[in-house]
């Protein structure tokens, strides 16, 4: 057990924020990797988001043994709301997010703090070991050489891809917040979108980039990204409730941030609109899922009930048509004609109601 060696008045250098919800099989390893960090002046903010599987009791035990842990229990509110509670209770100079099914190298905080101070960077990106059934691989948010970068130099290679990937992109980029150490001022008071359960990390990264001037990149894999856990959201392959509503919230948020980041909408609207149309196709595919409680015909009815379709039609002039496959171009034309049922039947047949479909993800 890591013993706290700082004095009573020691300044907290890094606050590690952990949202926990029903992760009894992984949270022990996660907390062990945090309480044994080689940097002493840290605090660990754990918010138990209404766990019912014993995760909260595991957190209670650790909190009673290590006074660096601040533990809060609350009714289930979702990941974004829970992270907001974590941040409001943090007092460190720097902020780190850790998912409760992942774990960290024991010198992560020490080395990242050293890099942040040495470089005077507002943000520090680092790499992670991704654990999947097919093995372990190193991934990162932005695969550029180690060094200090101005945020203004990263618009084309990093910020724009967060608005939607295109074929000409030369780098595989992601927006994971657990691959970033934030100077506190970069995320203090940011907006948390409590109805967003997908792409919420990207929303936080973009808000921090609005405030930041510099980013330091290290290639050290300090983090272990666990895609083996059955409860992991990143590994989940099932029916998503309110998927399209989530995508619309992300679209509106990203558009709002883009108006601050860019002075010309033509730089980002093509990516954003194309991504929105692809996500609408995915929302129809989602409704064909065999786990949809509405059933097959109920899923089709849900497609017609989807709200905010006007965002598609209002932004179709920005579409990057070369980014669609021939089949997708036909499906998009059917959507423009409001002919949703053939699109629904297409995915139901081709994907066997999502039993044979493998979702393509970056990591």
DSSP string, 122-136: SEEEEEEEEEETTEE
Q: What is the pLDDT of residues 219-228, one digit of tens each?
A: 999 999 998 7
Answer yes or no: are the C-beta atoms of 24 and 52 closer than 8 Å. Answer: no
pLDDT given at position 3: 40
Residues 190-194: contacts with CB under 8 Å, at least 24 apart? 191/253, 192/80, 192/81, 192/83, 192/84, 193/80, 193/249, 193/250, 193/253, 194/77, 194/78, 194/80, 194/81, 194/84
- Joined together, the tokens standing for residue 273 give 């609109």
Question: What residues of the chain score a pLDDT lower than 50?
Answer: 1-7, 233, 235
pLDDT given at position 362: 60
Extract the runs of DSSP E, i.e. beta strands, from the chain: 14-20, 42-49, 69-74, 94-99, 103-104, 123-132, 135-139, 147-150, 180-183, 214-226
- Give residue for tokens 């932005």: 142
CATH superfamily to which 14-226 belongs? Spore Coat Polysaccharide Biosynthesis Protein SpsA; Chain A (3.90.550.10)
The residue extents of the domains of the chain are: 14-226, 243-350
Task: Estimate the share of the chain in helix, then strand, then coil, as percent rounded to the nearest 5.
Answer: 45, 20, 40
Q: What is the pLDDT of residues 120-150, one digit of tens each?
A: 999 999 999 999 888 999 999 999 999 999 9
pLDDT given at position 353: 73
- Give residue for tokens 């907290």: 12
């Amino acid at each position: 057990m890591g013993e706290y060696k700082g004095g009573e008045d020691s300044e907290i250098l890094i606050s590690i924020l952990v949202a926990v919800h029903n992760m009894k099989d992984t949270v022990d390893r996660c907390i062990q990797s945090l309480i044994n960090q080689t940097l002493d002046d840290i605090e660990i903010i754990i918010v138990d988001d209404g766990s019912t599987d014993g995760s909260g009791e595991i957190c209670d035990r650790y909190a009673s043994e290590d006074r660096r842990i601040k533990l809060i229990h609350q009714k289930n509110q979702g990941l974004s709301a829970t992270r907001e509670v974590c941040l409001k209770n943090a007092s460190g100079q720097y902020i780190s997010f850790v998912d409760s099914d992942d774990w960290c190298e024991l010198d992560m905080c020490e080395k990242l703090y050293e890099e942040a101070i040495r470089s005077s960077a507002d943000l520090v990106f680092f790499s992670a070991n991704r654990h999947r059934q097919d093995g372990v691989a190193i991934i990162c948010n932005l695969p550029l050489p180690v060094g200090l970068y101005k945020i203004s130099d990263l618009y084309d290679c990093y910020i724009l891809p967060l608005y939607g990937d295109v074929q000409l992109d030369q780098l595989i980029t992601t927006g994971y917040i657990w691959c970033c150490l934030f100077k506190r001022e970069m995320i203090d008071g940011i907006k948390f979108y409590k109805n967003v359960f997908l792409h919420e990390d990207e929303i936080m990264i973009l808000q921090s980039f609005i405030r930041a001037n510099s980013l330091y990149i290290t290639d050290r894999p300090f983090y272990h990204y666990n895609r083996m856990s059955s409860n992991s959201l990143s590994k989940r392959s099932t029916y998503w409730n309110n998927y399209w509503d989530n995508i619309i919230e992300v679209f509106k948020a990203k558009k709002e941030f883009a108006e601050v980041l860019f002075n010309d909408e033509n730089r980002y609207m093509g990516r954003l609109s194309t991504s929105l149309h692809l996500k609408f196709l995915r929302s129809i595919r989602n409704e064909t899922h065999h786990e949809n409680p509405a059933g097959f015909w109920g899923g089709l009815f849900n497609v017609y009930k989807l709200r905010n379709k006007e965002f598609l039609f209002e932004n179709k002039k920005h579409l990057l048509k070369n980014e669609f496959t021939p089949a997708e171009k036909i499906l998009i034309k059917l959507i423009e004609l409001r002919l949703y049922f053939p699109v629904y039947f297409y995915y139901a047949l081709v994907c066997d109601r999502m039993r044979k479909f493998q979702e393509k993800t970056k990591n």
